[in-house]
Structure 1
Amino acid sequence: MGKLTAAAIVGRALEIGDAEGLDGLTIRRLAADLGVTPMALYWHFKNKELLLVGMADHLISGFAPKTGDERPWRERLREMVDGLIRVLRAHPCAKNILEQVDPLTVPSFLAVWDEALGLARAAGFNADESCLISKYILQSAISIADGPVHFRSTHTPEQLEEIVRVKRLGLQSLPAGRYPNLVEMAGPMVSGMSADLYDTFGVDLVMSGIEKLAARN
């Protein structure tokens, strides 16, 4: 193979992490997949901890803020949330990576974090409120990306269809007089919906709350 780069190492590490989880990712396994010795990887990443930092930086760099962006704070903040959800959905191991690394060691994370705080201040929030907004944004993005519409299952399509059918019938069989809304909306409640609607509506909820509070400042 050609010259081994940090980008190539991180790319393959993400593929392993997505397919097998981070427990299946080791320096020895990664080196074998890349056709090199473990020592060759140590030139770029001294250990797995630093490899995870490199993976986190790579993931977040895709939506890190660009210099000279003068768009309104609403547009920039929404783009940040969208970017985080997109990364979390595309890479099943991303959540675990972000939970395991120290944010202070990830340049792209620091850039996004600082930008989120700055945008909140631009919206008129004080320091305490801005810190809370940055935390809520992260947790909201994780929750949206973890939603049922993105559920990854080992079941066959036929098995999933049967599971959904049983759950739908269970809701529809409830006493309609006592639980009218559950009975009426049993279909969309258990059958799921398009990823686009799920994510867009979720971000709308988060952003509308922030904008509503900002209007009071």
Structure 2
Amino acid sequence: MGKLTAPAIVERALRIGDTEGLDAVTIRRLATDLGVTPMALYWHFKNKEQLLIGMADHLIANFAPEPADDRPWQQRLRELVEGLVRVLRAHPCARTVLEQVDQEDVPSYLTVWNEALGLTHAAGFADEECCLISKYLLHSAISIADVPVHFRPGHTDEEIAEIVRVKRLGLESLPADAYPYLVRMAGPMVDCPPSLYDSFGVDLILSGIETLAARRS
């Protein structure tokens, strides 16, 4: 292969993490897959902790907030959250990666976090409130991107249909007198379109922030 680069290493690490889980991501495994010696990887990442930071940075670097402009803060904040959900949802291992690093060590995460702080400040919140809202907001985006409604790569359409059918039947089989709404709503509970799940989740989070902001004005 050509010259080994840090982006090539983290991209391969993310592919392994997505398909086999993060425990399968080791320096030795990466070296084997990339056709190099472990020492060649240590030149870029001295240990797995640094590799995880590199993976986290690469994940979020695929989303760059738009430069500040004259659009309302509500529109820019929505764009921030939707963009973060979109890039993280492309990698099933994203949440696990972000949970295993100190997010303050991830430059691209700091960029998004700083943008969230600036937008909530523009909405009229006090500094302490901006800090809390930005944390809730970013962690909510990470959680939305990780929900089971998004089936992992490797499942065929037939397998997904069977998973949904079994889950739906499980809820429909509950005692209706004890769980009337779970039984009634079994279909949409287990078969919510991913796009609806994401958009409704973002709406729910942002509407709360907008309501609080309106009380400040």
Structure 1 counterpart of 2:65, which letter?
P
User: Within 1, Cα distance between the matches of 2:148 and 2:52?
Assistant: 27
What's the offset of the Cα at 1:67? 3.4
TM-score, normalisation: structure 1: 0.88
User: Within 2, Cα distance between the matches of 1:165 and 1:212?
Assistant: 35
Q: Deviations over 1:97-125 (max 9, x none)?
A: 11111122111111111111111000000
Structure 2 unaligned spans of 5+: none
What's the offset of the Cα at 1:186? 3.2
Structure 2 counterpart of 1:39, which letter?
M
Q: Corresponding residue for 1:74?
A: 74
SS in structure 2 opposite 1:36? coil
CA RMSD of aligned residues (A): 2.3
User: Within 1, Cα distance between the matches of 2:185 and 2:140?
Assistant: 24
What's the offset of the Cα at 1:93? 1.1
What's the offset of the Cα at 1:162? 4.3
Q: Which stretch of structure 1 is more off in the superposition, 10-19 or 159-168?
A: 159-168
Q: Which stretch of structure 1 is more off in the superposition, 120-129 or 145-154?
A: 145-154
Percent of matched pairs sharing the same residue = 67
Structure 1 counterpart of 2:141, which letter?
A
Question: Quick check: 1:160 aligned with 2:163?
Answer: yes
What's the offset of the Cα at 1:12? 0.4
Q: Is the 8 A contact 1:87 1:94 kept in 2?
A: no
What's the offset of the Cα at 1:64? 3.0
User: Within 2, Cα distance between the matches of 1:200 and 1:31?
Assistant: 40
Q: Corresponding residue for 2:98?
A: 98
Q: Which stretch of structure 1 is more off in the superposition, 27-36 or 83-92?
A: 83-92
Structure 1 counterpart of 2:84, which letter?
L
Q: Corresponding residue for 2:185?
A: 185
TM-score, normalisation: structure 2: 0.88
Q: Corresponding residue for 2:210?
A: 211
Structure 2 counterpart of 1:174, which letter?
A
Q: Corresponding residue for 1:14?
A: 14
User: Within 2, Cα distance between the matches of 1:88 and 1:183?
Assistant: 32
Structure-2 change in CA distance of 1:174 and 1:101 (3 Å)? same
Structure-2 change in CA distance of 1:107 and 1:165 (3 Å)? closer
The count of residues paired between Structure 1 and Structure 2 equals 213
User: Within 2, Cα distance between the matches of 1:19 and 1:129?
Assistant: 38
User: Within 1, Cα distance between the matches of 2:127 and 2:95?
Assistant: 27
User: Within 1, Cα distance between the matches of 2:55 and 2:188?
Assistant: 36
Structure 1 unaligned spans of 5+: none
1:1-217 mapped onto 2 (5 Å cutoff): 1-152=1-152, 156-157=159-160, 159-171=162-174, 174-175=176-177, 181-190=181-190, 192-217=191-216
User: Within 2, Cα distance between the matches of 1:75 and 1:164?
Assistant: 37
Structure 2 counterpart of 1:201, which letter?
F
User: Within 2, Cα distance between the matches of 1:89 and 1:198?
Assistant: 12
What's the offset of the Cα at 1:49? 0.9
SS in structure 2 opposite 1:150? coil
Q: Is the 8 A contact 2:171 2:186 kept in 1?
A: yes
